[in-house]
């Protein structure tokens, strides 16, 4: 009887506690669950290319799919108050840069600011992404700019002749093998490609003019393809502040009004196992060129223009 | 001993004797009741905390995952510990140990009253108090697990502690062996630098 009484008293205490938790629990638990305000850091390293990039056993990397997923994760995390986009990229393809840029705009429209921090280089497609963010930080010696579009094309006609290779094609239309490396571009084809490049360039100019609040004529003047240092870019209005990633984090912290030190959360960071067995994190221009060469040598005539 | 309430009292104040009795009588029904209560009470604490937040839709799924995950851990844990206890010379049954280990979920019930007291503390002390409660529950649970192994298999306290940590030690040994294996294989991979 004594044992039962003791346990019943304890059960009563637990019952009272459960009722008490209804009133005092929410305040405490909500603050615990919310945690400290966070600043997310998302890295853009190497060439910006569309798709999944390289897929490893435990991860994938280098493609915009993974980058966009990281953006969505940061967008959906209520404790993330701002995103710092750390760009170290020489550029990439126009569609890949564009699709990430559009996602950045969507994240900003939801009230979550995105701040760019340029590392060694944030040129061309890298700048496209930066132009879609709220504020741009660059080191004084960062290489940026290269604002423009080009379509690479190699003519290996003479080489094929030397090694005795002659490509035979049955085409559905006169331009189906446009940009094929085994023959010279015709004037008509060159005009077609030029119109495409101009259209992409115009889109790029519009993105910069809109993102940087600059006149399109001024952007066209700056966007002749030349590169700028971070300091030159600031003078030209292409960059807001000179500073490193920590300055960008401080800027983001101030922008969203976080009091004290924010918690930093890095997206896309690989653990040791992923680093050992996962995909390579980024592409280099050499890797892409080698891949293109392999594709050309191993496949039929497919027109797949790359522009960066 | 006899009723569920009396068993609880004995687990609280005479754990070794209580665990011996539970294992001998194989009180699996009472153990399952204890396990369910040990799951539900902390879940209530979490529910009161996230009530009205965007996290509530995933609450049911998380609870189900936690419940069945803990149940699987209890069953597998009892099986593995029974194996190690027998290796250490224990003379008990797996079902007896399973029943006794079910009552090691009792400390989880203490989370609610202690948590409410901690929530009333000033901001600076609150975090510390929550940490202390977590530590207390972990230590108490481990102590009851040791008592369960002792009670079910008649082992000494030291051997029971070794049995409790044996799976972790075995896993640690396997990881070390794997690291040595991988480490010896790495120089054979032709890296291009």
* Calpha distance A17→B18 (Å, rounded): 27
**Which residues have C-beta within 8 Å of that of residue A278, sequence separation ≥ 6?**
A56, A57, A58, A59, A60, A61, A270
Domain A26-147+226-270 belongs to what topology?
A: 2-enoyl-CoA Hydratase; Chain A, domain 1 (3.90.226)
The ipTM of this complex is 0.75
| Per-residue pLDDT at B1 exceeds 70 | no
In angstroms, what CA-CA distances link A243 with A39, A139, A240, B115? 17, 5, 10, 45
Residues paired with A40 in a beta bridge: A83, A265
What is the DSSP secondary structure assignment for residue A50, as one 8-state letter?
Answer: S
Query: In chain A, which segments carry CATH 3.90.226.10?
Result: 26-147+226-270
Q: What pLDDT, on the 0 to 100 scale, is given for residue A153?
A: 87
CB B144 within 8 A of CB B15: yes
Question: What backbone torsions phi and psi does residue A84 show, to the nearest 5 degrees?
Answer: -105, 120
Residue with tokens 């191993």: A298
Can you tell me the distance from the alpha carbon of B148 to that of B146, in angstroms, rounded to the nearest whole number?
Answer: 5
H/E/C letters for each residue in B17-67? HHHHHHHHHCCHHHHHHHHHHHHHHHHHHHHHHHCCCCCHHHHHHHHHHHH
Kindly report the length of chain B.
193
Which of B3, B113, B119 is facing A25, going by the closest CB pair? B119
Do B54 and A13 count as a contact with CB atoms less than 8 A apart?
Answer: no
Least confident range from A79-88, A146-155, A259-268, B92-101: namely A259-268
Length of chain A measured in residues: 308
φ/ψ of B99, rounded to 5, equals -65, -45
pLDDT at A5: 85
Q: How far is B147 from chain A (nearest CA, A)?
A: 20
Question: Which pLDDT does position A83 carry in this prediction?
Answer: 97
Interface check B62 vs A, CB under 8 A = no
Neighbours of A14 (CB within 10 A): 19
The pLDDT of A192-198, averaged and rounded, is 95
Nearest CA in chain B to A6: B9
Name residue, tokens 């503390």: B121
From the list B8, B48, B113, the residue facing A13 with the nearest CB is B113
Give the span between the Cα atoms of B120 and B129, in whole angstroms.
Answer: 10
Interface check B128 vs A, CB under 8 A: no
CATH top class, domain A148-224: alpha beta
Tell me how many residue pairs between chain A and chain B have CB atoms under 8 A apart.
70
Report the gap between the CA of B91 and the closest CA in chain A (Å). 30
Q: Where in chain A do CATH 3.40.1750.10 domains reside?
A: 148-224
Indicate whether A78 pLDDT > 50: yes
Q: Distance (Å, rounded) from C-alpha A21 to C-alpha B134?
A: 17
Which residue has 């600076």 as its token pair? Answer: B124
For residue A185, the 8-state DSSP code is: P
Query: B117 to chain A, minimum CA–CA distance in Å?
Result: 9
Based on the residue annotation, tell me whether A176 is a catalytic residue of this protein.
Answer: yes
pLDDT at A303: 35
- Does the pLDDT value for residue A307 go beyond 50? no
Asked if A253 and A172 touch (Cβ cutoff 8 Å), the reply is no
List the beta bridge partners of residue B149: none
Predicted local confidence at residue B125, as pLDDT? 81
Give tens-digit pLDDT for A39-48. Answer: 999 999 888 9
DSSP string, A223-259: -SS-EEEHHHHHHHTS-SEE--HHHHHHHHHHHHT--
Q: Which of B52, B109, B113 sits opposite A26 (nearest CB)?
A: B52
pLDDT (average), residues A293-304: 47
Closest-CA residue to A19 (of B146, B181, B44):
B44
């Amino acid at each position: 009887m004594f044992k039962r009484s003791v346990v019943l008293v304890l059960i009563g205490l637990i019952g009272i506690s459960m009722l008490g938790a209804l009133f005092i629990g929410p305040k405490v638990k909500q603050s615990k669950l919310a945690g400290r305000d966070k600043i997310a850091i998302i890295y853009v390293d190497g060439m910006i290319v569309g798709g999944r990039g390289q897929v490893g056993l435990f991860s994938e990397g280098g493609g915009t799919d993974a980058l966009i997923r990281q953006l969505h994760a940061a967008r959906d995390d209520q404790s993330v108050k701002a995103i710092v986009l750390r760009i170290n990229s020489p550029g990439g393809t126009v569609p890949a840069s564009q699709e990430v840029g559009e996602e950045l705009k969507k994240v900003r429209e939801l009230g979550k600011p995105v701040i760019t921090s340029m590392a060694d280089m944030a040129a061309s497609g890298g700048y496209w992404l930066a132009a879609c963010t709220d504020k741009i930080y660059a080191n004084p010696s960062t290489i940026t700019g290269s604002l423009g579009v080009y379509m690479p094309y190699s003519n290996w006609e003479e080489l094929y002749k030397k090694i005795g290779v002659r490509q035979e094609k049955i085409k559905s239309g006169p331009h189906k093998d446009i940009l094929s490396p085994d023959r010279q571009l015709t004037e008509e084809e060159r005009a077609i490609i030029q119109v495409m490049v101009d259209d992409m360039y115009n889109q790029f100019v519009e993105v910069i003019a809109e993102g940087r609040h600059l006149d399109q004529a001024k952007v066209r003047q700056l966007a002749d393809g030349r590169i700028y240092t971070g300091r030159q870019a600031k003078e030209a209005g292409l960059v807001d502040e000179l500073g490193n990633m920590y300055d960008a984090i401080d800027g983001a912290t101030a922008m969203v009004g976080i009091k004290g030190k924010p918690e930093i959360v890095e997206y896309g960071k690989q653990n040791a196992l992923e680093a050992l067995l996962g995909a390579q994190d980024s592409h280099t221009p050499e890797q892409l060129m080698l891949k293109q060469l392999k594709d050309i040598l191993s496949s039929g005539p497919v027109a797949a223009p790359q522009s960066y | 001993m006899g009723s569920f309430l009396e068993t609880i009292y004995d687990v609280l104040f005479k754990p070794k004797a209580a665990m011996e009795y539970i294992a001998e009588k194989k009180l699996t029904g009472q153990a399952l009741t204890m396990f369910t209560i040990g799951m539900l009470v902390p879940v209530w604490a979490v529910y009161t905390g996230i009530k009205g937040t965007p996290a509530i839709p995933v609450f049911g799924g998380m609870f189900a995952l936690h419940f069945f995950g803990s149940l699987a851990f209890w069953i597998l844990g009892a099986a593995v510990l029974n194996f190690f206890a027998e290796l250490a010379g224990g003379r008990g049954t797996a079902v007896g140990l399973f029943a006794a280990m079910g009552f090691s979920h009792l400390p989880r019930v203490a989370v609610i009253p202690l948590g409410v007291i901690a929530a009333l503390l000033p901001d600076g002390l609150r975090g510390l108090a929550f940490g202390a409660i977590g530590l207390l529950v972990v230590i108490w649970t481990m102590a009851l697990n040791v008592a369960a192994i002792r009670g079910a298999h008649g082992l000494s306290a030291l051997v029971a502690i070794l049995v409790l940590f044996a799976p972790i030690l075995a896993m640690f040994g396997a990881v070390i062996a794997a690291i040595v294996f991988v480490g010896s294989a790495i120089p054979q991979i032709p890296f291009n630098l």
